[in-house]
Each structure stands twice: as structure tokens, then as C-alpha cells.
Amino acid sequence: MRIAELSQKAGVPVPTIKYYLREGLLPSGELTSPNQARYDDRHVQRLRLVRVLLDVGRLPIATIRDLLTKLDEPDPDVHEVLGKALPATVGTREGGDPAVLTAAHDRVSALIAQRGWLLSDDARTRHAAAEVIAAFQQVGADAEYLLEHYADAAERIAVHDLGFVARESDNESKVHAAVVGAVLGNSLLAALRRMAQEHESAKMFGIREDNCQAAEAD
Amino acid sequence: MRIAELSQKAGVPVPTIKYYLREGLLPSGELTSPNQARYDDRHVQRLRLVRVLLDVGRLPIATIRDLLTKLDEPDPDVHEVLGKALPATVGTREGGDPAVLTAAHDRVSALIAQRGWLLSDDARTRHAAAEVIAAFQQVGADAEYLLEHYADAAERIAVHDLGFVARESDNESKVHAAVVGAVLGNSLLAALRRMAQEHESAKMFGIREDNCQAAEAD
């Protein structure tokens, strides 16, 4: 198909497609003349994946490019993608107190040791966790109240995340599921958590009857 | 204190502080002359909160301004903040298939009804959940495998999130904890989930001994 048809099928404007091509987020089509290229269904699928990682996952372009490179390897290593290639999707902070950050790193190491988590030497996920714990402290809050409960939840969730990956038959599909599950899973969990929080809040802090609809009236 | 001292205490450069003042993220100081203002410890705390919401939570400026407005109300309504004011922190998407999105909305309504979640009429969190479910489908994946497990986890997490809020003594502190917990909680959960995933992946897909350190060697 030509770029106009690709645009229509994927629901992505032509100038945006050209931008993705320049940024290396979409492989080039097959040149049929010096000014025209032909695209196929794999381009449609890749475009949809890029849109979802950008719009729903809100990942930076460079991170998406790295992930797609892994995805395009002939026999991708599923564990390498789950262990290292996926971003921790936590922002980093400047200007924090180094002593607070060091203490947070120690707390993360203790948590990992206590739970016996098998992690690579790559420090990015540990650093992300430590950054968040330090951020709690920086705003006068204490992550300690939540930490072990969240780690329990993370362990249970990870079992299902890996089930989501393992049920795919070949490595290419497994890596695709790992990327989609990791990125969209965060968003799904965040949305469900917000709803569950509102429900718990309604039970705890009360809610005016006329401002609330019971679930059965939905 | 003058703006230079505020900058030093909060670890935020003076031009950035001036930008936050213009954007309404930081209340003005007390004018001591036409060109000078005096700031206090509340400005230091507010600056730290803004940095964390921006850098770790990656929230848009407008969302932070709305949250801070709630925080500054004389007797803020804790349930209103937990129910409506907090963002669902899920990106939205354009160009998706409307039929897929409608089906996703129906799935979310069924989930809410089945779990008896008490939610306000405000549709933002439902819409966020439906957007993510539709995004899974758009990239050829199926959220159904994860949905009920994630909802179970979200319910357990929300109980602890509300405990984190309820242990504060006054409404102002409760709302502060709700904001911090909601935003940083997402980041903490995401970081722990990535570590737990790597651990599950190491167990499931194996890992080369020399590429792995047991937790006790950390």
C-alpha cells in the first residue's frame, strides 16, 4: 500500500508517519520509485504500537526506539527485554538531598535481599525505586507505610504479567507481549487503582447520596 | 527569607522559581519593597512538592495547579480530592476505533458493577480505564487476561492508600497525603513491579549465572 492508505488504515496522519520514519520509529517501506515506497500490514501494526507507547504510555521517543530495536532482533531474548530493556517509567529528579537518596538506596537493597529478588547488575530499576522513596521523604511523607504492601502487590502482579508473556508461542510474540504488558499494564493498574481509591474513600469519608451512583445504576 | 535563600533551601534555581510564580504553582511572597519579596518555610515545602509532582509524577503544569488549588482550600474535602481532583494519569489517544472504545467502556462498567465500586458520575477514571483496554486491543493484545487480577491488586492497594491518608490528623494533612500518595504511589508501584517482573522472568526464562547476582551479594 501507499503512504496515504497506510495513514488511513492506522489512523495516523501522513506528516506524522514521515516524522516517525525520520526518527527511526517505523522501518522504511520498499522503494518502488525514487519518490514512492510501498508499505505492508507490518507497518500498520508498528504504527499502532508506536501510537500506543507514545500516547498512552507517554514514553520518550528515544526509549521507544530502543524498545523497537529489541523487538526487531531475529530471536529476541525475552529475559533481557523484561530485565533491562524496559524502562522503569519513573521520572528522575535533580537537586535532592544526597544523604536521603543514599538511605533510600539502602532501603531498596534491604527489600530486595529480604524478598530474594533475582535482579541483574543493571541499577536502573533500583535507582528508580530509591528516587521515589527519597521523593516521599522530600515532601514530608513516609513511603515506609506503603512499601511492603506495594511490594506484595507487585509480586502478585508480576506473576500474572509473566503469564501474559508466557502464553505466547514464539519469542517474537513473547517480547511484543512483554513490551505491551509492561507499558500498558502500568496505565491499566493506575486507572483501576484510582477507581478503587475512590470506592475506598467513599466508604471511609462518606459521600453525599445524590452525588453518588451505586454500581448497579451504571 | 529572600528568593536566593529559598532557591538554596529548596534546591531549585531562581529562574525556575520565578517561572513557578508566574504559572501560579507557588504563592507570591510578602512584598517588602516594590522589587523584593520575603518567603517562608511554607514556600520551601510547596517548592519541593511542585518539583516532585513535576519530575517524579510527570504531571502537566495545569494538573498540578488544579491540585494545589484544592490543597489550599481552608477545609478541603478529602473525598472530593480522592474522587475527582486527582488525575487518572493515563494519556489519551486519538484515531482509535470508536467501536473498540465503546466495547471497552462496557467492559469497565461491568467490572465496576460486579465489584460494587461506589464511584461518582465523573467519567474520567472510567474513560482512562476504557482507553487502556482499547489500546491493548489496538496493538493486538488482550487486556482480559490481566484485568481481574489487576482489579484485585488495585483493591488491596487502595485499602493501604486510604490508610496512608487516614492516619493524618487534620483534613489539610489528609489531602496532602492523598495527593502525594496518589502520584508518588503510582511511581513506587511501577518501580517495584519492574523489579518483581525481572525476578519472575529470571525464574521463568532463566538467566546466565554471571549476569545475575543473588540478592545477598547486593
pLDDT at A69: 85
- The residue with cell 482512562 is B128
What was the pLDDT predicted at B89?
A: 58
Range A165-181 average pLDDT: 89
Q: Rounded mean pLDDT of chain A?
A: 86
Residues B179 and B209 in one domain: yes
Task: State pLDDT tens for residues A143-160.
Answer: 999 999 999 999 999 999
Contact B196, A151 (CB under 8 A): yes
User: In chain A, which residue's Cα lies nearest the Cα of B112?
Assistant: A215
> Are B41 and B94 part of one and the same domain?
no
Q: Is the model's pLDDT at A165 over the cut of 50?
A: yes
Give the cell for residue B16.
525556575
Whether residues B18 and B66 share a domain: the answer is no
Q: Answer whether B146 touches A (CB < 8 Å).
A: yes
**pLDDT greater than 50 at residue A218:** no
Whether residue B183 sits in one domain with residue B75? yes
Q: Tell me: pLDDT of B43 over 90.
A: yes
Considering the domain boundaries, does residue A160 fall inside one? yes
Alpha carbon of B30: minimum distance to chain A alpha carbons (Å)? 23
Q: Are strands B119-120 and A212-213 parallel, antiparallel or unpaired?
A: antiparallel
Q: Is B216 on the interface with A (CB under 8 A)?
A: yes
CA distances from B69 to A71, B1, B22, B179 (A): 44, 24, 15, 12
> Domain check: are B48 and B104 in the same one?
no
Query: Tens of pLDDT along B119-164?
Result: 887 778 898 899 999 999 988 899 999 999 999 999 999 999 999 9
Question: Domain for residue A192, yes or no?
Answer: yes
Residues B100 and B203 reside in one and the same domain: yes
pLDDT at B178 over 70: yes
* A8 at B interface, C-beta within 8 A: no
Is residue B49 domain-shared with residue B97, that is, in the same domain? no
Query: Can you give the residue range of the structural domain that contains B44?
Result: 1-55
- Could you tell me if residue A28 is inside a domain? no
In this prediction, residue A95 has a pLDDT band, given cuts at 50, 70 and 90, of low
Indicate the number of domains in chain A: 1
pLDDT at B11: 86
Task: Check CB contact of B28 with chain A, cutoff 8 Å.
Answer: no
Statement: residue B209 has pLDDT above 50: no
- Tell me the average pLDDT across A89-94: 60
Q: Work out the pLDDT band at A217, boundaries 50, 70, 90.
A: very low
CA of A117: how far to CAs of A83, B111, B177, in Å?
Answer: 12, 32, 29
Within-domain flag for A95: no
pLDDT (tens digit, 9 = 90+) per residue, A21-42? 999 999 999 999 988 899 999 9
Q: Is B51 found in the same domain as B71?
A: no
Report the C-alpha gap between A187 and A149 in whole angstroms.
20
β-bridge pairing A212-213 and A119-120: unpaired
**What would the pLDDT profile of B54-82 be if each residue is shown by its tens digit?**
888 778 888 889 888 888 888 888 888 77
The backbone region for B47, taken as left when phi is positive above 0, alpha when psi lies in -120 to 50, beta otherwise, is alpha
Is residue B110 located within the same domain as residue B205? yes
Q: Please tell me whether residues B124 and B139 are part of one structural domain.
A: yes
pLDDT at A91: 59
Instruction: For residue A125, give the nearest of B136, B147, B195 by CB distance.
Output: B195
pLDDT at B111 over 70: yes
Q: What is the ipTM of this complex?
A: 0.86
Q: A105-117 pLDDT, tens per residue? A: 999 999 999 999 9
Nearest CA-CA distance, residue A62 and chain B, Å: 17
Assess if residue A74 is contained within a domain.
Answer: yes
d(CA A17, CA A25): 9
Confidence of residue A55 (pLDDT cuts 50, 70, 90): confident
Q: Within this chain, do residues B17 and B91 fall inside the same structural domain, yes or no? A: no
What residue in A sits closest to B128 (Cα-Cα)?
A191
Interface contact B55, partner A, CB < 8 A: yes
In the block, residue with C-alpha cell 547486593? B218
Residue A153 lies in a domain: yes
CA distance B10 to B44: 5
Q: Which residue of B has its CA nearest to A86?
A: B194
**In a domain? residue A112:** no
Which has the minimum average pLDDT: A41-55, A79-93, A121-135, A155-169?
Answer: A79-93
Instruction: Determine whether the interchain pair B187/A215 forms a contact, defined as Cβ–Cβ distance below 8 Å.
Output: no
Task: Let me know if residue A198 belongs to a domain.
Answer: yes
The pLDDT assigned to A216 comes to 42
| Adjacent-strand bridge partners of B120 | A212
Section A10-24 average pLDDT: 93
Q: Of the candidates B9, B32, B55, which is a domain's last residue?
A: B55
Summarize the confidence of residues B30-59 as an average pLDDT.
89
Handedness of CA B110, B115, B118, B119 (dihedral sign): negative
Position B146 scores a pLDDT of: 96
Is B196 found in the same domain as B140?
yes
pLDDT tens digits, residue range B82-92?
776 676 655 56
Q: Is the pLDDT of residue A213 over 70?
A: no
Average pLDDT taken over every residue of chain B: 86
Name the range with the highest mean pLDDT among A122-131, B55-64, B75-84, B98-107. B98-107
